[in-house]
Amino acid sequence: MRHFLQCGRFGYSLGADAGTGGDAASALVMGILNVTPDSFSDGGRFQSLEFAISRAEEMVADGADMIDIGGESTRPGSAPVSVEEELQRVMPALYALRGLGKPLSVDTLKPAVMREAVIAGADMINDVNGFRAPGAIDAVRDSDCGLCIMHMVATPATMQQQAQYTDVVAEVIDFLAGRIEALTRAGIARNRLCIDPGFGFGKTVAHNVALLRNIGRIERELDLPVLAGLSRKSMIGAITGRPVEQRLAGSLAGALAAVAQGAALIRVHDVSETVDALKVWQQAGTQ
Ligand code: 7PJ
């Protein structure tokens, strides 16, 4: 399955040439750059910015294909931050990293942040809320930035009260289909879109496993590239019994499993390890 994804200044042909004897499935690696205070050193905003820049440079040197800048933690139970605070965290990093030569994604669910990010030249907007906030679609419509539509039923603050599904895969597909329809009806080109089942967002381990096994079905039914984010998540912890700082091996296996199932983009913390794992795994030619 082949898709073209327009990402601002960049464009990608994604997925293997199935059945042509071409290379095994490859995926773009999106490196996570948190610019939240918990990842900050003690030296205030300037030192935080310096740290973020060097971390992004390191990820690119390690083989990251894009950088996902996030200024608001969307972890379960986390409190929202104000627009002003999120802008103060995200915008300096976005400006500073424009010359990096890789697409810059901004992980936000706030239309006001999307608007500023688009003006500053973000190449992708990654919305865990699926562009459902009033004004979100308007904020991104008149640009050529890529859009990642993630599935989440509740908000990060409430999603611990686990959503109920009768058929999680079908319900995630229905939700994403509705969001694709809303975005394309507004005039947004399909080749700007990628979709994400939202691992860990209001889902049990069984839900997450079902979604992992069905990435290929999600991609086929919606005919868009799938982004998968499993890195260090609680499902890896539940399967391995490991705390968050010991989830590297499980996360690498999760990344390879997601690509094997058809993910075209993977969102990870540990870029160099993921890139190495993908390089070796691809030699086997499995898809
Ligand atoms: C995801 C995300 C994900 C997309 C976060 C964490 C929580 N964006 N932002 N997909 N997760 N598209 O990294 O543990 O799974 S924040």
Domains and CATH numbers, the chain: 2-285 (3.20.20.20)
pLDDT in tens, the chain (287 residues): 589 999 999 999 997 644 444 455 689 999 999 998 755 455 677 778 999 999 999 999 999 999 999 999 877 667 789 999 999 999 999 999 999 999 999 999 999 999 999 999 999 999 999 999 999 999 999 999 999 999 998 765 666 666 789 999 999 999 999 999 999 999 999 999 999 999 999 999 999 999 999 999 999 999 999 999 999 999 999 999 999 999 999 999 999 999 999 999 999 999 999 999 999 999 988 65
pLDDT at 46: 73
Give distance in angstroms: CA of 20 to centre of ligand 1.
33
Instruction: Report the distance separating Cα 15 and Cα 169, nearest Å.
Output: 21
Ligand 1 pocket test, candidate residues 107, 195, 232, most atoms within 8 A of CB: 107
**Catalytic residue positions, numbered:** 233, 267
Atom 10 in ligand 1: residue holding the nearest Cα:
229
- By alpha-carbon position, which residue is closest to atom 15 of ligand 1? 229
Residue whose CA is at the smallest distance from ligand 1 atom 11: 229
What pLDDT is attached to residue 163? 76
Closest ligand 1 atom to 32 CA: 13
**Measured from the CA of 128, which atom of ligand 1 is nearest?**
8
7 vs 197: CA distance, rounded Å? 20
pLDDT computed for residue 159 by the predictor? 61
The torsion angles phi and psi of 117, rounded to 5 degrees, stand at -65, -40
Name the residue with the closest Cα to ligand 1, atom 1: 229
List helix spans (H) across 22-130: 44-61, 83-97, 111-119
Residues 96-126: tens digit of each pLDDT? 999 999 999 999 999 999 999 999 999 999 9
Q: How many Å apart are CA 209 and CA 84, to the nearest integer?
A: 37
Closest-lying ligand 1 atom to the alpha carbon of residue 229: 15
Confidence (pLDDT) at 286: 63
What letter does residue 201 receive in the DSSP assignment? S
What phi-psi label fits residue 69: left (phi over 0), alpha (psi between -120 and 50 degrees) or beta?
beta
Question: Which residue type occupies 75?
Answer: R
- Report how far residue 281's alpha carbon sits from residue 287's, in angstroms, rounded to the nearest whole number: 10
As a whole-number percent, the residues of the chain with pLDDT over 70 amount to: 90
The residue count of the chain comes to 287
Q: What are phi and psi of 263, to 5 degrees?
A: -65, 135
Predicted local confidence at residue 74, as pLDDT? 74
Distance from CA of residue 45 to its chain's centroid? 25
